[in-house]
Chain A
Amino acid sequence: MEEDVSRSLDVELSELAGMLLADETLDSTLERVASVTVRAIPACDAAGVSLTEKGRVVTAAISEPLVATVDNHQYDTREGPCLETLRTGEPRRSESLAHDSRWPGFAPRAVAEGVISCLSIPLVVGNGAAGALNMYSRSVPFRQSDEDAGREFGVPASAAVANARAYAKSQELVDQLQEALQSRDVIGQAKGVLRARTGCSADEAFETLREMSQRRNVKLRDVAEEVIETAGGGSHDG
């Protein structure tokens, strides 16, 4: 039995190791991590990846809708294995949620969804972000052997998520800079406006534009045009 678990883990680790970043999006990578987790951990019926960035926890990928529902119960009640794992960096496991007194708000809601047992494993994602691999079972309890397998699986899963995030961020920056180059005149003018207005450096002005673009999910060129429109109260005549 233990050998079967080990073999199953090997096969799934091979799938993670075989993912080409350039062929995947961040979302598709996270979804594969979730689906691979279901196959790798024997007791796992459903799995998801939760990520926290700037203090906000979100469910980034799920193997089935149940995961989002149960994760939301954790977020709503502000307790549960995922949130504790994110806070402590340690795995959290409940063999029987119906008899677990640690999470009085969350556990009854999870049981009502048909979940009998759960396991959360920390993901080390880097760059100020943390993550958790959340596993739920409707059929059999997560045992110590599942937790051990989860801990082993968590290392390459962390690498897969971290690598996908790093690549996605770098690709996003490349795309933004290419767009910026195409729009350099408009952006240059906006940098000049910001520098004259605030006394910042050229790099700081560009960074300000980029942050505005990211925060509002608006193209850099459009943000620059908005800044130019406000120049000295005047209008941009192209």
Chain B
Amino acid sequence: MKARILDRGDVLKIVDLLRRQGFEVIAPFRVRGRDTYFDAVSDQNRDQVEIHFNNPYYPPKRYVLPHIEPLLTVKRSNGELQIEPAYEQPKRAIFGIRSCDVAGIYHLDLFYLGGKFRDLYYENHRKNLFLVNLVCSDPERDIGGECFCVCADTGPASRDHFDLQLMDLGAEFMAVAGTPAGEQLLADSIFRKAAAVHVERRHAILDEVRKRFKTSTSWFSTTVRYISHNEVLEKTWEEIGNRCIECGGCTYVCPACTCFTVTDRQTGAGEIERVRIWDSCALGGFTRMAGGHNPRRAVHDRRNRRFFRKLAHYFIQRELSMACVGCGRCVDVCHGNIGMPSVVEMIRRATSSQLANGGRAGDPGPTPQPANSGRAGDPGGVGRP
């Protein structure tokens, strides 16, 4: 990897360079208070781009996986059906994407492009996406109260999966290329060679920043083991589920959540549009089958699914990482304080103490429920007789 140095005042020139190359550049802006967002850079707002900012709540994953995405339209004319796919293939760069979100997009890549079937819609968004990663170097402004990338091993500085990485060293910024496309950009005259002193400074800052996280360890490994070995107590899952009000927020803001639903909506006479929409395993309809059977009708059965998917060894082995990037958004978005770190802790504490007390580890099996009973507050009803 090549490291280069540029003056502080030249950082936004990278945005200009990319725009000149025909990229639509997405960058962070501040609205008011703690509220920040990613938006397209224009001539008007270019100077308002933020370098140190609270990571926007609405994750940049929507640039590869839109909240609502048209897939195709079907029209009936002269008794024939015309099907038109709605492909979009933008040339886009995200400037200032945080390391956690870089890891999130990589995770989506593995899901949508890494298997036997490649998702064409995702691929079209991803193909020309240029990522300018910004290292979290300012403990006050960059690190949120709930960030835990140090435990998820994704930050504060990405090791991979970016095109270009920027880090604030004070008067200067360090730029590191992660891909040939990033390297090409370094040929511009705003960049100069880095010296050993810059590398030392980088290490010193990162050492300091790592100490400034409120949540320095989430004890993931213990919890991964308990979940993978099915040792989590049913009552712990119930306790977690009872605090979920099924808003779906944790999955919507999660950079690594991949689920969507597909639906058709009428757009005119004899005309429909097929769209895919972010979906959430928190919702009852997510697992409901045609005919009414819902294998995960109780909320805690749905919640445990989320953590199984993110932390079970089976998935980690397949994707070579947990499906959690440590961004902390699920903590902030949760009405019942069951974001990832607190769930990891609840599982670890309850399971460890059960094991320490000589109790049998593992799931005692499904709680017996009266036949034909739905759980309270669960509108999913019950399976049909």
A and B interact physically: no
Binding site for B on A (CB under 8 A): none
Q: Which residues of B contact A (CB under 8 A)?
A: none
